[in-house]
Structure 1
Amino acid sequence: MAYQTVSPTTGEEIARYSTHDADEIDERLNWAMEAFKDHRDRTYNARAERLETVADLLEKRAREYGELMTREMGKPIDQAVSEAEKCAWVCRYYAQHAESFLADEPEETPAKRSFVAYEPLGPIFAVMPWNFPFWQAFRCAAPALMAGNVVLLKHASNVQGCADAMEDLFKEAGFENHEFQVVRPARKHVSDIIQDRRVRGSALTGSVAAGSAIGREAGDAIKPSVLELGGSDPFIVLDDADLDRAVDIGVTARMQNNGQSCIAAKRFILHSSIAKEFTRRFISAVEDLKVGDPMDDMTDIGPMAREDLRDTVHDQVERAIRDGAVAEAGGHSVDRDGFFYKPTVLTEVERGTVAFDEEIFGPVASLIVAEDAREAVDLANDTRFGLGASIFTEDREKGERLARRVEAGCVFVNEMVKSDPRLPFGGVKDSGYGRELSRHGIREFVNAKTIWVE
C-alpha cells in the first residue's frame, strides 16, 4: 500500500510514499520513547530555543513552504504563505509562554508545602488532515513539544511532502533525536499505534467518523485524546448589521481555503428585513471571485484538494436542489483540468435539508432566513455541530448576549471565526472535545500531579 499525492490543479500524480510496516512502526515508537526520555529533562529555555529556530526557518522559507502546500492541496498561494507565517507565530507564542502556563501552582493545605506540577505524558500520536497541512500539525506540535512531550505525526495521504518537510525542519532546528517524526501506517495499523503502551495520548483533526474511531480506540486504551471535528458554522446577520462589512467578511469566511475549512461560515442566517439585500450583494461578490491556478497571486479560488471531495460536494448541491434549494450562483464543476468547483450560493434553504443539516466541505454557501434574533439563534443551534459561529450586529452588547446563547466552542461578534494561539480552540457536540491553543491547549497532554511535602 502507498500514500499518493495528486496535483489538484492538473490531476496528475506528484509522488507516492510507501507505508511503514509493523516493524518500521515499532522502530519509530522506540525512537519516540528514547527521545522522550531526553526531551522531558530539557529546560524550558532549551526547548524554547529550538522552537524559536523553527519559527525563524518558517519565516525565512514561507514562500517555499507555501508553494509546497499549494502544489499538494491547492490552496491559493497567498493563503499558503500566510499559513507558514502563522505557524511561526504559534511556535514563538509557546516558546515565550509555556513555562508560565505550566509553572507549579502552590495550594494552601495543612502540609508544609503542597502544589500542583504539570508534567509531560510522553509520545503523542497526531492524526492530521490535509486542508491546513502545516497549521494543523504545528498547533498540536508546538505546545506538545514545549510541554516536554514528543510527537508522532500521521498526516493525510495527499500531503506527505508537507509532512516530510516539517520533519526535516524540526531536525534542522535542533529536534534531531526524533522528537518530531512522521509515521505512515496503513489504516489497519492506526489502532495498534493508539493502543501501544508507548503512546500516551492522541490528537485528531478530521471528520466525525474518524474522530469517533480515534476517540473509541483511545478510550479503550484509557488514554487522553483531543478531537477537532467537523463544523456547520452559522453566520448570523441581524437587521442592524453593517451589511458592507458582513458581506465582505462573509465571502472570505465561506470561500477561504477554497471553502475547505471546518470553521468556514457555512450557514448564513439572515434577518428577514435585510435578507434580500444581503443576498443580492453576497451573490455579486461571490460571482466576482477569480477561479484559477492557485499559484497565481491574483487567484481567489483554487481547486478542491481531491477529485472525490469535489464529487461529494457536487452530489450534496444536487441533493440540496432536489430538497428545494435554489442555486443562485455556481452549482457545477469548472470545465478545466483539475478538481475545480464553481463558488456556489444556495437560497431557499430550510431545516431538515442537505444544505442545512450536512457539512458541505467546499465553496458552497447556504442562505437561510430568520424572522428575528431569537429564531436566528434557534436556527444556529439546530445542528449536531458546535465548532464556531459569527454574529453581525451594531449593538455589541446584544451581540455578546446572543453569543452566550450559541452552542459553539467560539463565537465572534462582527468578525469571522479564526484560530488564534492566545485563545482556546475546539468544539462541542459532534465537533469534538478538548482544546488546542492558549494555556488550555498545552494542558491537554500533561499530568496535573499533586505533590504534598510534610
Structure 2
Amino acid sequence: MNVINPATGNQIETYEDEDITEAKAALDTATDAFDSWRTRPLREREELLSDVADILGERKQKYAELMTREMGKPISQAKAEVEKCEWLCNHYAEHADAYLADEYHPSPAGSAVKTSYEPLGTVLAVMPWNFPFWQVFRFAAPYLTAGNVGILKHASNVPGCALAIEEIFRDAGYPEGVFQSLLLPSSSVEDLLADDRVKAATLTGSGPAGRAIASTAGEHLKKTVLELGGSDPFVVLDDADLDAAAETGAWARNQNGGQSCIAGKRFIVHDAIYDEFIDRLIDEFDALTVGDPMDEDTDVGPQARADLMEELHEQVTESVDAGATVELGGEPLDREGAFYPPTILTDVPEGCPADAEELFGPVASVYRVADEEDAITKANDTEFGLGASIWTEDRERGERLTHEIDAGCVYVNQLVKSDPRVPFGGVKESGYGRELSEIGIQEFVNRKTIWVE
C-alpha cells in the first residue's frame, strides 16, 4: 500500500499488504482471545476503554497529523476528530454497564425472567478513509466493551491510521487478539466474512460495498450493520434565520472537504427567501480558506485522492452540461495537490449527477421551491435516507416536518451530526442498523432470554 499525501501528490510511506492466509491466522488469535475476553468483568473492560480515552488525549497531535498526511483533513478538524473519539470512549466507559444491564420482565409468581446481553464473538469492520479514527472507534468502543473482539479492514489509503488504532488498544492494555488491524485488499473481505469464526460485520462505505457485504453475510446468516451513502437535504424555510442557516450550511457542506455521508448536500430553499439566502450562502462559501491542511487556519484541504477529485469534477461537468449554473467554484484549483474549491450549483436539472448522485466533495446543489409541501417532496426525492436538516424559527413547525422526511435522523436548526448519546444510522439506500448510544452497543449481542423457575 503506497500512501500518497493528497496535498502534495508525493508518496510518503509504503506498507506491505497482508494476504488471506495472514487474515485466517488473525482469526485464530481473535477466537482464542474471545474465550477469555467475554468473561472479563464489564467494569474491567470499561476501565480499559477509559485508558484508551486517556491515550487519545495524550497523543492527539500525533494522530491528527497522521490523518492529515494520509487523507488531507485540515489539522484543526483532525484534532477535533481525535477529541470526539476520546469523548466516545469516555461515554461508553461510563455508561456501558447501564446499557448492558439485565432487563427483567413480568413473570409468574416464583419465577424470574430477564434478557441478558451477551457478546457474539469476532466482529469484522470494513471502514472508510474520510473519518479514519472516528469511524473505527464508533464500532470498536461499544462492541469491544460488550465483550466482542474486532478485526478491522481499513481503507487502503489510511494504513497508518489502521495500525495506530491497533497500537492504541495494545498500549491501553487490551489482551492480544481483542483488536487487530489487517492491511488487506478489498478482494479478501468476502472470504473473511464467509469464515465461520466471523460472527457479524459492520461496514461504512458505498452502496455497492454494502450490498456485497449484506449478500455474503446473508448467505451465511450473519448479522450486519451498514452505514452507506447520503444525499442529505438542507431545507431552508421562509421563516428561517438566514444568517445562521447560511453559516451552518457552508460548514455542513464543506467540513472535511465535503467528504462526509451526512454533509448537507442538497439545499432546498423556499422561494420567498431564495435570492437573499443564495447571496449569503455564496458569501459564506467564498470566505472559506482553502489551503495547506497542516495550517491551523485552513478550512478546506485537498480531496483525499486525486482520482476522487477527478470523479467529483466529472459529476460537476456533467451537471453543468445538463443545464446547472455554477455560482461559485466549479474547477479544480491550479496548484499542487488534489484541491477542489467550495462550489455552488443552482438551476440543477432533475436526473443530472448533482441531483441524483452523491457528490462526495465540497459541492452544494441548490433548489428553489414554492412552498413547504414542495420542500418536503424535494427532500424525499432521493434514494438515500441518512440525515436531513430543517431551518425554521417555528420549532413546532420544524418538529412536525421531521416526521415527513424519510431519513434516519433529522435536525432542526442544526447540522446533521453523530453523537455518542443518540442512535445513528439511515434508511432506504443509506443502510440499516444503528450505531452509538444504547441501541448501538446492543446491535452485536445475543439478547438472551433467561427464565428461572
Deviation at 1:20? 1.7
Deviation at 1:433? 0.2
Is 1:328 matched up with 2:327? yes
1:374 corresponds to:
373
2:48 corresponds to:
50
CA RMSD of aligned residues (A): 0.9
Contact conserved, 2:20 with 2:192, CA < 8 A, in 1? Answer: no
Contact conserved, 2:319 with 2:349, CA < 8 A, in 1? Answer: no
1:28 corresponds to:
26
Deviation at 1:62? 1.0
Query: Superposed, which structure 2 residues align to 1:141-180 within 5 Å?
Result: 141-180=140-179
In 2, Cα distance between equivalents of 1:426 and 1:4: 32
The amino acid that maps onto 1:60 is: E
Q: What secondary structure is seen at the aligned counterpart in 1 of 2:56?
A: helix
In 2, Cα distance between equivalents of 1:344 and 1:226: 33
Deviation at 1:64? 1.1
Contact conserved, 2:159 with 2:183, CA < 8 A, in 1? Answer: no
In 1, Cα distance between equivalents of 2:177 and 2:80: 27
Deviation at 1:189? 1.9
Q: What secondary structure is seen at the aligned counterpart in 2 of 1:75?
A: coil
Contact conserved, 1:323 with 1:354, CA < 8 A, in 2? Answer: no
In 2, Cα distance between equivalents of 1:150 and 1:67: 28
Q: Residues 375-422 of structure 1, C-alpha deviation per residue, up to 9 Å, x if partnerless?
A: 101100010000000000000000000011100000000000000000
1:91 corresponds to:
89
Contact conserved, 1:422 with 1:438, CA < 8 A, in 2? Answer: yes
In 2, Cα distance between equivalents of 1:25 and 1:154: 10
2:349 corresponds to:
350
2:67 corresponds to:
69
1:118 corresponds to:
117
In 2, Cα distance between equivalents of 1:15 and 1:202: 29
Ranges of 4+ aligned residues in structure 1 off by more than 6 Å: none
Query: Superposed, which structure 2 residues align to 1:211-290 within 5 Å?
Result: 211-290=210-289
Q: What secondary structure is seen at the aligned counterpart in 1 of 2:289?
A: coil
In 1, Cα distance between equivalents of 2:188 and 2:254: 35
The amino acid that maps onto 2:319 is: A
In 2, Cα distance between equivalents of 1:413 and 1:188: 41
In 2, Cα distance between equivalents of 1:253 and 1:300: 12
Deviation at 1:192? 1.0
In 2, Cα distance between equivalents of 1:49 and 1:285: 44
2:397 corresponds to:
398
Q: What secondary structure is seen at the aligned counterpart in 2 of 1:452?
A: strand
In 1, Cα distance between equivalents of 2:309 and 2:286: 19
The amino acid that maps onto 2:60 is: A
1:407 corresponds to:
406
Q: What secondary structure is seen at the aligned counterpart in 1 of 2:158?
A: helix
In 2, Cα distance between equivalents of 1:160 and 1:351: 39
Name whichever of 184-193 and 312-321 sits farther off. 184-193
The amino acid that maps onto 2:265 is: K
Q: What secondary structure is seen at the aligned counterpart in 1 of 2:140?
A: helix
For normalisation by structure 1, the TM-score amounts to 0.98
2:36 corresponds to:
38
Identity, in percent, stands at 56
For normalisation by structure 2, the TM-score amounts to 0.99
In 1, Cα distance between equivalents of 2:305 and 2:66: 16
Name whichever of 105-114 and 236-245 sits farther off. 105-114
The amino acid that maps onto 2:150 is: V
Is 1:183 matched up with 2:185? no
Q: Residues 70-126 of structure 1, C-alpha deviation per residue, up to 9 Å, x if partnerless?
A: 000001110000000000111011111111111111112236111111100001000
Alignment gaps of 5+ in structure 2: none
1:425 corresponds to:
424
